[in-house]
Structure 1
């Protein structure tokens, strides 16, 4: 039922955007009727692709090439809508600033061709960006830490669809080359039914680090049998931190790594985050907390040196990051929350929906925590 409601709202929004693009952009282009007809047909095909995508999202029998084609229209329509907004603004400026009709017509035609070319180029660049995972290196100073540790953070991998066994196998090779002390996976690892996710998850058994790999659930795990996901991830030799902590490092020279359930658990009244329980027994040692959503930082009422989060995807496709900012206090990167707490937000190692990224690359985070 939840899926039907979401799909209905999502398709309705995409339909509205499609109509706006057609009427406020394509209709105003100084192109031939035939060319505009082709552009509207292309737009309609993309809308049909959005509808089809909603039905194949969790169906692994769909070939990767078909899944790829059906997942693109969401991003294409969104970026064309943004192009429409810019087109309207520049068209208005031309109308207001140029009085001579022939010159105004010349600039409008130039705007038409430029807008279409830029829109196509931006879409192509967004697809290119999603295929390349960047290594983001950051150094975080922590009080009372006795020695340096390297944490490799992965987040929002979203196994399912294009994020398959091959994707994870390649990811594991890159992570292992970083020689991490610990690996932290901060939620939204699985985004399909467990029976389909297992081949990709099995690749995570090959992750190597000095003190192990740790996982917390994100909001998407609640959609796919969170208990089964936790059980299977644990069977791979990866420790799920369930409102608990573990000591990392040599005696009196390490830190506590804690993890909480996602705040989505408060909505479903199950697997709810409990910070007090997660930090129990950590005393005055340095603390690193894994919490999927950055806004959980508002619940922290005691000293935590560093919070590692994900969820936002860095906005994934700009300017969507501006909307994310309305819900989350931090969207990406290292941020100083207060005198006691810093937070690092991973932009996501995979992607959700369209295999597109603009202004927010996929990332593996290499976080060196060092003594002050």
Structure 2
């Protein structure tokens, strides 16, 4: 029922955006009627693609090439909507009143420029989605007795276009960094685990001194959170369930705590509990894994030095980051939340929905922890 309500509202919004693009952009372009008709037909087919995507989102029988095509329309509509807003602004700039030729030239330039802009940013966004970059971040943690190099992966969203080959490439890049530990901060699996096993199994090849640690994100709750956690444990990934472990030796390391995602409050199961997660921690610096950045607002006087989060995708496609900011206190990067606690928010290692990224590249985060 929740998905039906979401899908209905989502399709209504996509339909309204498509209508707005048609009326305020395509129909105002200084091009032939045949060209306008072609673009409007393209817009209609694109919207039908959104409907097809919503119907096939979790059907594993859909071939990957077809799934790729069905995944694009959402991003296309969003980028065309942004182009339309830009076009509206440019169209209302002070006009040259006397010279009709110059006025016509300016109109033509804006029209063609807007079409070229929409095409180029769409192509660039598609290209960016498959590129995962190493994001090197230096974090100073008081009282850390020796330096550590750790890797954070987040929001991989295995399922659909994020397949075994994608994960194999990620594992290769992580192993080249030779990290002390690997932290996966949620939204790793975005389908039933039985369809994701081949891709997930690649994570068993991650190599680090102290192992791989995982916390659930909101998307794990949609696909059988119990089964996903159980399978990850079976391939030697430590799942932190409102608990902590010690990374390092001879009291020269740090506490690593992890909580369930705040979506657990809505699901009425696997709810985050920071007090339980910090039980019996040693007198050493503490790092907390919490999927959504807004969980930091639930922390009171806990002695936490660094929070590692994801969830936001860095906005994934600008200017969507402005909307994400309404729900999350931080979108990406390292922030000093208060005199004691820092938070780092990953832009995500995969993507969700359209295979597009613009202004927020996929990242494998390489954190250098020093005193």
TM range (shorter): over 0.9
**Structure 1 residue aligned with 2:157:** 158
**Structure 2 residue aligned with 1:193:** 192
**Structure 1 residue aligned with 2:2:** 2
- 1:297-316 aligned within 5 A: 297-301=296-300, 302-316=302-316
**Structure 2 residue aligned with 1:98:** 96
Check if 1:219 corresponds to 2:228.
Answer: no
State the alpha-carbon separation in 2 of the partners of residues 98 and 233 from structure 1.
65
State the alpha-carbon separation in 1 of the partners of residues 288 and 196 from structure 2.
27
Conserved? CA contact 2:255–2:282, under 8 Å: no
**Structure 1 residue aligned with 2:82:** 82
Which shifted more, 191-200 or 209-218?
A: 191-200
- 1:283-302 aligned within 5 A: 283-301=282-300, 302=302
Aligned partner of residue 327 in structure 1, secondary structure: coil
Which shifted more, 277-286 or 106-115?
A: 277-286
Aligned partner of residue 325 in structure 2, secondary structure: helix
Q: Give the CA deviation at 1:284.
A: 3.0
Taking structure 2 as the reference length, what is the TM-score of the superposition? 0.98
State the alpha-carbon separation in 1 of the partners of residues 279 and 85 from structure 2.
51
Q: Give the CA deviation at 1:128.
A: 0.7
- The CA deviation string for residues 16-43 of structure 1, in whole angstroms up to 9 with x for no partner, is 0000000000000000000011111111
State the alpha-carbon separation in 2 of the partners of residues 260 and 365 from structure 1.
20
Check if 1:281 corresponds to 2:274.
Answer: no
- 1:1-40 aligned within 5 A: 1-40=1-40
Q: Give the CA deviation at 1:283.
A: 4.2
Give the ranges of 4+ consecutive aligned residues of structure 1 lying more than 6 Å apart after TM superposition.
none
**Structure 2 residue aligned with 1:177:** 176
Q: Give the CA deviation at 1:62.
A: 1.1
Check if 1:71 corresponds to 2:76.
Answer: no
Which shifted more, 48-57 or 27-36?
A: 48-57
Query: For structure 2, which runs of at least 5 residues remain unmatched after alignment?
Result: none
Aligned partner of residue 92 in structure 2, secondary structure: helix
Q: Give the CA deviation at 1:105.
A: 2.1
**Structure 2 residue aligned with 1:257:** 256
Q: Give the CA deviation at 1:188.
A: 0.2
State the alpha-carbon separation in 2 of the partners of residues 22 and 278 from structure 1.
52
Conserved? CA contact 2:30–2:111, under 8 Å: yes
Which shifted more, 279-288 or 260-269?
A: 279-288
Q: Give the CA deviation at 1:106.
A: 1.7
Q: Give the CA deviation at 1:3.
A: 1.3
Q: Give the CA deviation at 1:5.
A: 1.1
Q: Give the CA deviation at 1:197.
A: 1.1
Aligned partner of residue 123 in structure 1, secondary structure: helix
Q: Give the CA deviation at 1:312.
A: 0.1
Q: Give the CA deviation at 1:103.
A: 2.3
Q: Give the CA deviation at 1:166.
A: 1.2
Which shifted more, 263-272 or 101-110?
A: 101-110
Aligned partner of residue 363 in structure 2, secondary structure: strand
Aligned partner of residue 156 in structure 1, secondary structure: coil
State the alpha-carbon separation in 2 of the partners of residues 49 and 233 from structure 1.
34
Q: Give the CA deviation at 1:314.
A: 0.1
State the alpha-carbon separation in 1 of the partners of residues 185 and 332 from structure 2.
14
State the alpha-carbon separation in 2 of the partners of residues 178 and 24 from structure 1.
49
State the alpha-carbon separation in 1 of the partners of residues 272 and 157 from structure 2.
21
